Every structure is written in structure tokens, then in C-alpha cells.
Amino acid sequence: MKKAVFPGSFDPITLGHFDIINRALPLFDEIVIAIGVNADKKYMFTLEQRLEFIKEAFKDEPKVSVITYEGLTIELCERINADFILRGLRNPADFEFEKAIAHTNRKLSNIETVFLLTAASTSYISSSIVRDVLRNGGDYTVLVPDSVRI
């Protein structure tokens, strides 16, 4: 069984994340969306809100589940018997950053990282952009799945 972990803070989940997960469904038997908890980071949405946004977005997809975790992603993968880490790439800067993490993870474990390029229609969207639009009263709804409504 091919199980992948898609880690992130998902503060909030965006249409870019949504697209990557949907496009990865044919590649894996199971995708675990793993919300990382970092005590040093200030989030706009609570952990409970982020969990609910994702659960609602994928409520009709039995191959997708969502969990939270602390610590190294490779340790989570080992705990839940996942062989792959799924990551989306928007641009060359993402690639360079993610490549370093993937090489480190591979050095420390047998976990392979699978990269999918974001769709052109969502490549400009990031959670930080969504948060900025929200803070400034803009129409964030065109950037996130329908489940992200506040």
C-alpha cells in the first residue's frame, strides 16, 4: 500500500494545496494531511479550525485523512508507516528549499519525497498571501476551498 504524508501548517489550506492533493490521489492508496504544530509560530487560525477546514474539504474522499503532529516529519512517517512525503512546488525558490529538506530526509530515513508542480492557475497562491488578503478585508474566497469560510 502506498501511503503519503502531505505535511504543512495549512494556515489556511489553499486552492494550491487542494489541487496538489487531488492530483496526487491516483498516485497513492492513502494521503495523510499532517498539520505540523510549531510552538514558536503564530497562527491566524486555531489548530481546530485548520483541522475542520481540511476535514470538510475532503469529507467525500475516503483516501484522505488529516492528523496533527509535532517533531520531524520523517518520524511521523515511520510511526504511521508512510513511505512517501508529498510536496507541492510553486516556483524555483520552493524547489531549492524543498530539495534541501528532501535530501536531509533521505539521509536520515528511507522516506522518498514526491514533488508535484502546482497548476498554473494556483501557482501564485500561498497561505501567507491568503492571510494578508484576510487581514486587509479582501475577497479571500477565490483563493481557498469552500470549506474555508470565516
Of the candidates 47, 43, 38, 48, which has an alpha carbon nearest to the alpha carbon of residue 70? Answer: 38
Of the candidates 124, 130, 121, 113, which has an alpha carbon nearest to the alpha carbon of residue 91? Answer: 124
126 carries an active-site annotation: no
107 carries an active-site annotation: no
Q: Exactly one of 3, 63, 90, 131 is catalytic; which is it?
A: 90
Of the candidates 37, 90, 28, which has an alpha carbon nearest to the alpha carbon of residue 61? Answer: 28
What b/e readout covers 5-26, taking b as 16+ CB neighbours within 10 angstroms? bbbbbbbbbbbbbbbbbeebee
121 carries an active-site annotation: no
103 carries an active-site annotation: no
Locus of grid cell 498571501: 129
Three-point CA angle 101, 105, 110, nearest 5°:
150
Distance separating alpha carbons of residues 52 and 35, to the nearest angstrom: 11
Residues annotated as part of the active site = 17, 41, 90, 127
